[in-house]
Amino acid sequence: MILVRSLIFTIYYYASLLLCAVLGAPQAALSQRWAMAVPRAWARMTLFGMRWICGVKLVIEGREHIPTGPSIVAMKHLSTLETMFPFIMLKNPAIVIKQELSDIPLFGWHTQRCGAIPVARDTHASALRLMLRRARDEIAKGREIFIFPEGTRQEIDAPPDYKPGVAALYRDLNVAVTPVATNTGLVWPARGLLRYPGTVIVRFLPPIAPGLSRADFMRRLEDDIETASQALLSPERRRRA
């Protein structure tokens, strides 16, 4: 049954992506504000499919910590599902994405229209400078910068691998960073086709104020996210065992 549901959801997921990308193109061409409505619609459709096809419920904790202005939001990345969250949980996010995503026909155009910040990871210093320049522009517009500090999806038991990009943003932008923990990997693993029923918890943690040294900031960010994420994962593991 899980395999059948997973196959149905996969078809639904990509069909809804194509539908939103095509039908939303005229709207996205108007302005960045109108363009953001397209991924918001896709995110809601994805969560609807996860709920009614795969049996996945979403719980958001720590709502009092959700920022509403210039800030950085750093989330644990265990699943593709997290890419939906900024569009339904934040007011006007500018998302740091891999350059490869912005190169995909039509999809990439939508990311540009939404003001996403592409990063070509193989160009190192030049990519970092470009990311910071773009992030300054978006922060000046009052937007939240959303980033996965590990850069890519991680398996549940993989050791933490936090990249320096988030520390560069923290130092350069001089704004608070809100860590976010989650357990999405239990229902939508980083690899594979299967989607499992369960409850996804997204927990916004107290923000980290600007002004820490790079080492202290990275230590605090990793400890906050990893400790909270493991707390969310452990009870689910015991129930599934």
Whether residue 216 is contained in a domain is answered as yes
| Overall pTM surpassing 0.85 (yes/no) | yes
In one letter, which amino acid is 144?
A: E
What is the Cα–Cα distance from 154 to 163, expressed in whole angstroms?
Answer: 13
> Helix crossing, 165-173 with 125-140: angle to 10°?
40
Enclosing domain of residue 92: 56-240
In one letter, which amino acid is 198?
A: G
Whether residue 128 is contained in a domain is answered as yes
Q: Where are the beta strands (DSSP E) in the chain?
A: 56-61, 71-75, 93-98, 117-119, 144-147, 177-182, 198-204
User: What is the tally of structural domains in the chain?
Assistant: 1
Whether residue 225 is contained in a domain is answered as yes
Whether residue 150 is contained in a domain is answered as yes
Whether residue 15 is contained in a domain is answered as no
What is the Cα–Cα distance from 84 to 75, expressed in whole angstroms?
Answer: 12
- CATH of residue 225's domain is 3.40.1130.10
User: Each residue's pLDDT tens digit in the chain (241 positions)?
Assistant: 899 999 999 999 999 999 888 887 887 778 788 788 889 999 999 999 999 999 999 999 999 999 988 999 999 999 999 999 999 999 999 999 887 777 778 777 788 887 888 887 665 677 788 888 899 999 999 999 999 999 888 988 889 989 888 999 999 999 999 999 999 999 999 888 899 999 999 999 999 999 999 999 999 999 999 999 999 987 655 454 3
Whether residue 215 is contained in a domain is answered as yes
Sheet hosting strand 177-182, strand order edge to edge: 56-61, 198-204, 177-182, 71-75, 144-147, 93-98, 117-119
Whether residue 65 is contained in a domain is answered as yes
Whether residue 14 is contained in a domain is answered as no
Contacts of 209-216 with C-beta under 8 Å, sequence gap 24+, read 209/176, 210/170, 210/174, 210/175, 210/176, 211/174, 212/170, 214/167, 214/171
